[in-house]
């Protein structure tokens, strides 16, 4: 597998959250969240199942409307959201799926073939996506981050189903993204193998820091 090489053009994103409060039904998930992310920052969202990590990512993506507070600094087109609702078309090939997303999100990153190679599924481009294993599906989702360059990555359990080599790959991808100024907000139950811990913060939902 190739070492992922992202385009060198620098990002200058900012993501400012203030007073952010979200309820689901009757339940208050979180209130008065305050944080500011700058180029190169990573925010890890931690906390038990059901505490609101995915919901916070959806709020940052503009999909869940907050009950109070503001989210500033990012346009919808600055964001990549990687979660379980990946919009995969099982009857299209792996390459066709990635080409579709590239057309949707802009061909500002790697080519489809290079991106598939970078995430270790370069040999699977002609396979119908419905036949991919869980880990291969997750790698395809990662390739989606690479074909369209966007400065803010919102990643929901990105290491789920990845093997040890895949987790290491994920760490390298996030590190490369940060090196060009990108921001990542990552909901995870696992430690990420990031090389550089500077600029990495943790937000624990539903518990003490």
User: Can you read off the two tokens belonging to residue 98?
Assistant: 């990635």
Please state the closest distance from residue 90 (CB atom) to ligand ATP, in A: 23
Q: Based on the shown chain and the rule CB under 6 A, indicate whether residue 55 belongs to the binding site for ligand ATP.
A: yes
Q: Which is nearer to ligand ATP, 4 or 52 (CB)?
A: 52
Residue 157 to residue 174: CA distance in whole angstroms: 13
Q: Based on the shown chain and the rule CB under 6 A, indicate whether residue 52 belongs to the binding site for ligand ATP.
A: yes
Site stretch for ligand ATP (CB under 6 A), options 6-14, 51-59, 112-120, 141-149:
51-59
Q: Based on the shown chain and the rule CB under 6 A, indicate whether residue 50 belongs to the binding site for ligand ATP.
A: yes
Q: Which of 14, 18, 21, 54 binds ligand ATP (CB under 6 A)?
A: 54
Q: Which of 15, 33, 43, 51 binds ligand ATP (CB under 6 A)?
A: 51
| Binding-site string for ligand ATP from residue 181 to residue 200, where x marks contact by CB under 6 A and - marks none | ------x-------------
Please state the closest distance from residue 161 (CB atom) to ligand ATP, in A: 14
Q: Give DSSP secondary structure letters for 173-197.
A: HHHHHHHTT-EEEEE-SS----S--
8, 180 Cβ separation under 8 angstroms: yes
| Binding-site string for ligand ATP from residue 97 to residue 126, where x marks contact by CB under 6 A and - marks none | ------------------------------
Residue 54 to residue 188: CA distance in whole angstroms: 10
Residue 150 to residue 163: CA distance in whole angstroms: 26
Residue 131 to residue 125: CA distance in whole angstroms: 12
Beta-carbon-side half-sphere exposure of residue 164 (alpha carbons within 13 Å): 0
Residue 142 to residue 119: CA distance in whole angstroms: 7
Residue positions counted in the chain: 209
Q: Based on the shown chain and the rule CB under 6 A, indicate whether residue 31 belongs to the binding site for ligand ATP.
A: no
Residues forming the site for ligand ATP (CB under 6 A): 24-25, 29, 47, 49-55, 187
């Amino acid at each position: 597998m190739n070492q992922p090489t992202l385009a060198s053009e620098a990002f200058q994103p900012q993501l400012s959250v203030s007073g952010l409060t979200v309820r689901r039904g009757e339940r208050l998930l979180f209130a008065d969240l305050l944080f500011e992310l700058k180029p190169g920052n990573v925010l890890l969202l931690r906390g038990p199942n059901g505490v609101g990590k995915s919901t916070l990512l959806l709020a940052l993506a503009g999909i869940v409307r907050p009950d109070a507070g503001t989210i500033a600094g990012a346009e919808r087109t600055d964001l990549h959201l990687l979660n379980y609702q990946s919009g995969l078309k099982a009857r299209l090939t792996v390459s066709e799926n990635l080409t579709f997303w590239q057309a949707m999100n802009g061909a500002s990153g790697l080519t489809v073939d290079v991106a598939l190679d970078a995430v270790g599924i370069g040999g699977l481009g002609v396979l119908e996506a419905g036949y991919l294993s869980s880990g291969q599906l997750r790698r395809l989702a990662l390739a989606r981050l690479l074909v369209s360059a966007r400065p803010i990555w919102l990643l929901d359990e990105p290491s789920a189903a990845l093997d040890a080599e895949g987790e290491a790959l994920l760490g390298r991808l996030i590190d490369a993204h940060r090196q060009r100024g990108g921001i990542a907000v990552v909901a995870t139950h696992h430690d990420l193998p990031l090389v550089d811990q500077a600029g990495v913060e943790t937000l624990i939902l539903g518990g003490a820091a």
